[in-house]
Chains A and B, each alone.
Chain A
Amino acid sequence: MRGLSWRNFDFLLLGAVVLASTFGVMMIRSAIAGNEGLLPLGNRQIYFVLIGLVVIVLLAGIDYRYWLSLHWPIYLIMMIFLLALSGLGQAAFGAQRWFTVGVLFLQPTEFAKIVVILVLARYFEKSQNDPRDLKWLIKSLAWVWGLVIWILLQPNLSNVIVTMVIWAGMVWMNGLQLKHVIIFGAVGALAFGALVALTISGIRLPFLQKYQQDRIVNFILPDPNATYGSKYNVDQALIAIGSGGLFGKGYGYGTQTQFRFLKVRHTDFIFSATAEEFGLAGAIIVIAMEAFIIWRCFRAAQKARDLSGAMIAFGVAMLLFFQGSANIAVNLRLIPVSGLPLPFISYGGSGLMSLMVGIGLVESVTMRHKSMDF
């Protein structure tokens, strides 16, 4: 091991993460205030944040290459976990997305996204001198689908999309040929078109839940006879955001949030709760915090000493960006409801922890960058 200097640790990144998580804890407390059953969640999130910060420091101290060398065991263990939760594992464990460990629910899917980043980083480094042909592309896809197939079978479409976006970003950065972009784009568009067409014509697809299919249809073709429940959540989110105005109604005074018109307000719609209580100003601060964290990840990617490090940081940046913008876009009714959390702010132990692991890896990359400090 070379001389490790904590001077290279990205304190700004850590600071932004602490800030965002703290803000998240605060918003969760406001969001659950009206519901006694949810009250313990506020403190639980604090523990997750504290544990997560320890994880970041620990991971920063360990060279990320160590994990790359262990990619096979990590990959296989993750696959076993996902398998247990997938259709095949249902008989044994029941249809769940999490494992119960003591009082905690562990969602392997969240960690699977980090594993995909690790595995792809290692693959692209190893293959960096290979021609960017179809074989190179398909091999990278094979690594991804080894895990993603089980996520799809859960079924958890949102996270499949997240993983595929990370993959797409990474192959793009590694010199994906434009003709392949066109081919994949065409195939993707066709598949999506077929999905929509089939859903509209009422044919159930095997790997989608009915509600997921309905959400897609509802979004593309709003049903004029839509029942009370199907658009309710998003409608209330829009009212929450819009009524927040420039500076919001004040912390704890959002009528949509406090009187529970806004649903799943501590997870999926926490952005709406923020926008209601802190207005446009608060919403922009949240977006700025997220953007700052992502920017520090891109910065780490550029400074990384090797391609795998760059790819890890880039992958984490992609993960954060896509998940964050997808969540906000759902809140703003720009895309169908996906169930993706807002990074560092939404409630959820596994989600937060996997992101903390990601940030820890990025810190590890930053600390070992190539510049000469002496």
Chain B
Amino acid sequence: MSSHAVPRNSRFETWRLFVIYGVIVLILTTLLGRLISMQVFDSQSYIDQAVENYTKEISSPAPRGIIYDRNGFILARNAASYNLVITPAYVPDDDADTQRIYREISTLTGVPVNSGTLEEAKLFAPCVEGPGINQLVALGDSLAPYTPVQIKCNISENVARLVSERSVDWPGVGVEIVPIRDYPTGSLTANLIGFLGPIPASLEQSLRAKGFVPNRDKIGYAGVETSLQEVLAGVNGKRVIQVDVAGQELRNLEPPIAPIPGYNVTLTIDTRLQAVAEASLLQEINFWNRWFYGNSGQQRISSGVVIAMNPKTGEILAMVSYPTYENNRMSRFIPGYYYNQLSQDPRRPLLNNAIQSEYPPGSVFKLSTANGALNEGVVTTSQIIQTPGKLELCEQFTPNEPCIPGQNVRPFVDWIYNIRGVLNPAGFGTLDFLRCIAYSSNVCFYKLGGGYGDEIKQGLGIFRLGEYARALGYGAASGIELPGEADGLIPDPQWKRINQGENWSTGDTYIASVGQGYVLATPLQVLMSGATMANDGKLMQPTIVREVTDSEGKVQTVWFSPTDFTIWVPRTVSDDRGNTTQAWFNLADSTIVKQLPAGSYQISPFTANMKWDITTDPRIAVYNCEGGNCIKTDQKKTESPSVVKSVQAGMRLAVTDPRGTLYAIYSERYPLPIAVAGKTGTAEYCDDVALKANRCQFGSWPTHSWTLSYAPYDNPEIVVLAFEYNGGEGASVAAPVVARVLKAYFELKSIDLAKNGG
């Protein structure tokens, strides 16, 4: 009742008070309405934002597996690299302090305090020198102030220690330790091991899904680092943590998932033999380059390959491709100028020439012709073949084309016909089958391949030659665990029609019989043909991986599929009924299959995988050759073991017969107490480089040098191949390299024996 008792002040008009009340109610309603809409209706989206604020997902990098050679020597490992970083949020508020710190850092590291503009700094990738400290920090501050900005990468350990000591005086400045790949053997094994690079944009999405962190994690860009990426990479761990506004870690929001370190890989390579092989090749290349051009720096032999393999197991003991590159220069980032220099070099140092380049194999290819001719009964071992210095042969594009001298009759010369200007029309005179191989008589193999009158009524022919070449490993990628392998080329009439627009001629068959013309092979394929012979017709899968172990040293079972470069591990799967079955897990895309892709082979634990045995596996298509025309049948056949023995004998004779192509090298220059067999090759070629240099003159084309040897003859342990681009005569240029590697192999073997025995 009291309010009624109070007489209102005459000045206080009620309606004015009500206006005020009205305004108050209106404002309160607005505030409440907004509050309710935010806290009741939109609450979830704000909760999500709050959770996002304090949730941080941290990927813990998995250490990449270490790569060893067969003796446990480290070929690739992880080393620490130190980066000087500044966290923009933690630098002092006082600009004078900040600038003083920057000046001191600048003196220590050489990074300018100011350089360029903020806009320019945006164009630089991390770790690339250019922007000044102020620009880098300002850029980082605007993007993510609590993320450390890399000011100078790869500082020395001393500078890193200095910075750590001063971190009390330098708020926000710190040292970041990042693992980088270190290759102790560097360029010696660069073509095999390869190098790492950043995750490319095209793979970013799929790799991110697998837990990779772009801009931090790297993937293999070449060599084993690429082909065994899935084995080596491991699986990154994950932690979901709660952070405060400063990015300080408070607790785990989810149980942390520890990273699984990548598997370690032991290769079949023997680094010592690899070093010998590289040194021998370089010695030879440098010798001949100096021989022809003195110290002018001009190069005659521009590239070369040496491969050593155990023919019984397929283990590659050494694989050298010259020229090569220094993969340690790519370990932190791939320097653009260096990469450009490598990719523009006409000698193609980034290629592993042993498997990625194709060359005419020349006379080493005669092994295919020899196997075929003897197995098909074209010739017998007792048959004496006339081998004059040159043959006048008819170049027929159709079977009934008449032979007109001066028009389509061409001379096909033996290599002995013209030795440095001295003509030798008699050639080798007469030879039997073994000496055809040992002396590498072209004329003999022209006859075996293409036939010659009544002497060799029915030559082997291009189709059957192809069958035997493929049986020895030519014409298809070997399936070794290295990326980018080439297929080589075994030509046939159909291929010629499609690719050259021309009919197959009789001359094509003649020159294909001696590994010239359209025949192309990778050095590894040539080695495989030798290995097949050495191993009594059994072609082993060439492999570079000896063992895969986990971080605790336990050997893992790993299979490799060369067709699609996938890597598989066995996995036991159980179905709905609880039955367990053996299946295969794909490390690349995590799929599980019951059946491995065709052609897969076990790479760990080590097993010697045989591709095929030509004496027992029917791989050679049977051709019905009557009347000069060969028609393929559905049947397949094997090669007689006696044929293999005969070709082996021919290869041995090359070393033992004083006129054999390898006699001089193994009897005089590098006498070995162990029986060696082998085959040389001097392959004429005419590629872009030779054409440009105007060197493709008829009768004097430039030549590649090839030499293939295995030892011991009766129980081979090693087969070695050397190839030198534009090397010249195989016996004098490539053979010394092979001989030195063989010699070193047996020396190393006795050292190892002594060591293990004592």
A interface residues (Cβ-Cβ under 8 A, vs B): 34, 124, 128, 169, 172-175, 227-228, 236, 238-246, 255-256, 258-261, 275, 279-280, 283-284, 287, 291, 294, 298, 302-304, 306-307, 310, 321, 325, 328-329, 332, 334, 369-372
Within the complex, the shortest CB–CB distance from A366 to chain B, in Å, comes to: 12
The answer to whether A173 and B38 have CB atoms under 8 Å apart is no
Which residues of chain B are near A175, meaning CB under 8 Å? 11, 13, 16
A169 touches B20 (CB 8 A): yes
Given contacts A228-B142, A371-B5, contact A259 B35 (CB under 8 A): no
A334 to B27, CA, bound (A): 11
- CB-CB under 8 A from B243, the residues of chain A are 259
A261-B53 in contact (CB<8A): yes
Q: How far is the CB of A5 from chain B (nearest CB, A)?
A: 14
Knowing A240-B50, A303-B6, say if A227 contacts B142 (CB, 8 Å): yes
| Contact residues of B: prevailing secondary structure | helix
Task: Collect the chain B residues with CB atoms within 8 Å of residue A227's CB.
Answer: 142
- A172–B20 touching, CB < 8 Å: yes
Question: Contact: B46 with A260, CB < 8 Å?
Answer: no
Using A173-B17, A310-B12 as known contacts, say yes or no to A242 and B38 having CB atoms under 8 A apart: yes
Are A332 and B245 also in contact (CB < 8 A) when A227-B142, A261-B53, A303-B6 are? no
Would you list 12 pairs from A and B whose C-beta atoms are within 8 A, ordered by A residue? A228-B142, A241-B38, A241-B46, A245-B43, A255-B54, A259-B250, A261-B50, A280-B40, A294-B24, A303-B2, A310-B12, A332-B38
Closest Cβ–Cβ distance, residue A141 to chain B (whole Å) = 19
The answer to whether the Cβ of B750 comes within 8 Å of any Cβ in the partner chain is no
Interface: B36 (CB within 8 A)? yes
The answer to whether B34 touches A332, judged by C-beta atoms less than 8 angstroms apart, is yes
- Residues of B whose CB lies within 8 Å of any CB of A are 2-3, 5-9, 11-13, 16-17, 19-20, 24, 27-28, 30-32, 34-36, 38-40, 42-43, 45-47, 49-51, 53-54, 141-142, 145, 242-246, 250
Once A173-B17, A302-B3, A369-B6 are accepted as A-B contacts, the answer to whether A244 and B39 lie under 8 Å apart by CB is yes
B31 touches A275 (CB 8 A): no
Whether A284 and B32, one on each chain, are in contact in the complex, defined by CB atoms closer than 8 angstroms, is: yes
- Which of the residues B3, B16, B142, B244 comes within 8 Å of A173, measured between beta carbons? B16
Could you tell me if B50 and A280 are in contact, using CB atoms closer than 8 angstroms? no
Tell me which of B2, B36, B42, B145 contacts A280 (CB under 8 A).
Answer: B36
Chain B residue numbers with a CB within 8 Å of A370 are 6-7
User: Distance in Å from the Cβ of B45 to the closest Cβ of chain A?
Assistant: 7
If the complex has contacts A172-B20, A175-B11, are A243 and B30 also in contact, measured as CB distance less than 8 A? no
Whether A283 contacts B39 by the Cβ 8 Å rule is yes
Chain B residues contacting A245 (CB-CB under 8 Å) are 39-40, 43, 47
Q: Is the CB of A325 within 8 A of B28?
A: yes
Residues on B with beta carbons closer than 8 Å to the beta carbon of A242: 38-39, 42-43, 45-47, 49
Q: Which of B8, B45, B244 contacts A34 (CB 8 A)?
A: B244
Q: Are B50 and A243 in contact (CB under 8 A)?
A: yes
Q: Chain B residues with Cβ under 8 A from A332's Cβ?
A: 31, 34-35, 38
Bound together, the chains give a CA A284 to CA B34 distance in angstroms of: 12
Set A174, A259, A287, A302: member contacting B6, Cβ < 8 A: A302
Please judge, given known A-B contacts A175-B13, A245-B43, whether A280 and B250 are in contact too, CB under 8 Å: no
B9 interface neighbour in A241, A307, A321, Cβ under 8 Å: A307
Are A259 and B244 interface neighbours, CB within 8 A? Answer: yes
Q: In the complex, which residue of chain B has the Cβ closest to the Cβ of A256? A: B50
Q: How far is the CB of A219 from chain B (nearest CB, A)?
A: 15
A124 to B27, CA, bound (A): 27
Q: Which chain A residue shows the least CB distance to B47?
A: A243
CA A175 – CA B15 in complex, angstroms? Answer: 11
Q: Is the CB of A172 within 8 A of B38?
A: no
Q: Nearest chain-B residue to A333 (Cβ)?
A: B34
Provide the residues of chain A in CB contact with B24, threshold 8 Å: 294, 321
| CB pair B17 A280 closer than 8 Å | no
Nearest 5 A/B pairs, CB to CB: A242-B46, A243-B50, A259-B244, A280-B39, A260-B245
Inter-chain contacts of A371 with B (CB < 8 A) = 2, 5-6
- How far, in whole Å, are A284 and B53 apart by their CA atoms in the complex? 26
A303 to B8, CA, bound (A): 8
**CA of A191 to CA of B460 in the docked complex: distance in angstroms?**
106
Min distance, Cβ B44 to any Cβ of chain A, angstroms: 9
Is the Cβ of B39 less than 8 Å from the Cβ of A246?
yes
Set of chain B residues within 8 Å of A238, measured between Cβ atoms = 38, 46
> Which chain A positions have C-beta within 8 A of B245?
259-261
Q: How far is the CA of A369 from the CA of B3 in the complex (A)?
A: 11
Q: How far is the CA of A304 from the CA of B5 in the complex (A)?
A: 12
B47 touches A173 (CB 8 A): no
The interface residues of chain A lying within 8 Å CB-to-CB of B50 are 239-240, 243, 255-256, 261
Minimum distance in angstroms from B307 CB to a CB of chain A: 59
A242-B43 Cα distance, complex, nearest whole Å: 5
Complex Cα–Cα for A95 and B38 (A): 39
Give the residues in chain B near A228, CB-CB below 8 Å: 141-142, 145
Q: How far is the CB of B40 from chain A (nearest CB, A)?
A: 6
CA distance A280 to B36 in the complex (A): 7
Report B-chain residues with C-beta under 8 Å of the C-beta of A243. Answer: 43, 46-47, 49-50
Q: How far is the CA of A298 from the CA of B245 in the complex (A)?
A: 43
State the CA gap A142–B11 with chains docked (Å).
22
* Chain B residues with CB below 8 A from A174, complex form: 11
Note all chain A residues with C-beta closer than 8 A to B53. 236, 239, 255-256, 259, 261
Contact at A241–B35, with CB atoms within 8 Å? yes
Tell me the complex Cα distance, A371–B1, Å. Answer: 10
- Could you say which residues of chain A place their CB within 8 Å of the CB of B3? 302-303
Q: How far is the CA of A164 from the CA of B508 in the complex (A)?
A: 106
User: Is the CB–CB distance between A275 and B142 below 8 Å?
Assistant: no
Instruction: Tell me, in angstroms, the Cα distance from A99 to B142 when the chains sit together.
Output: 36
Closest B residue, CB atoms, query A227? B142
- In the bound assembly, the distance between CA atoms of A287 and B29 in angstroms comes to 11
Q: Which residues of A contact B51 (CB under 8 A)?
A: 255
16 further A-B pairs in the complex, CB-CB below 8 A; given A287-B28, A310-B9: A172-B16, A173-B11, A173-B17, A228-B141, A228-B145, A238-B38, A242-B49, A259-B244, A279-B39, A280-B36, A283-B35, A283-B39, A302-B3, A307-B12, A329-B27, A371-B5
Q: Which chain A positions have C-beta within 8 A of B54?
A: 255, 259, 261
Q: How far, in whole Å, are A244 and B27 apart by their CA atoms in the complex?
A: 22
Q: How far is the CB of B76 from chain A (nearest CB, A)?
A: 42
Task: Say which residue of B5, B35, B246 sits within 8 Å of A372 (CB atoms).
Answer: B5
Complex Cα gap A34–B245 (Å): 10
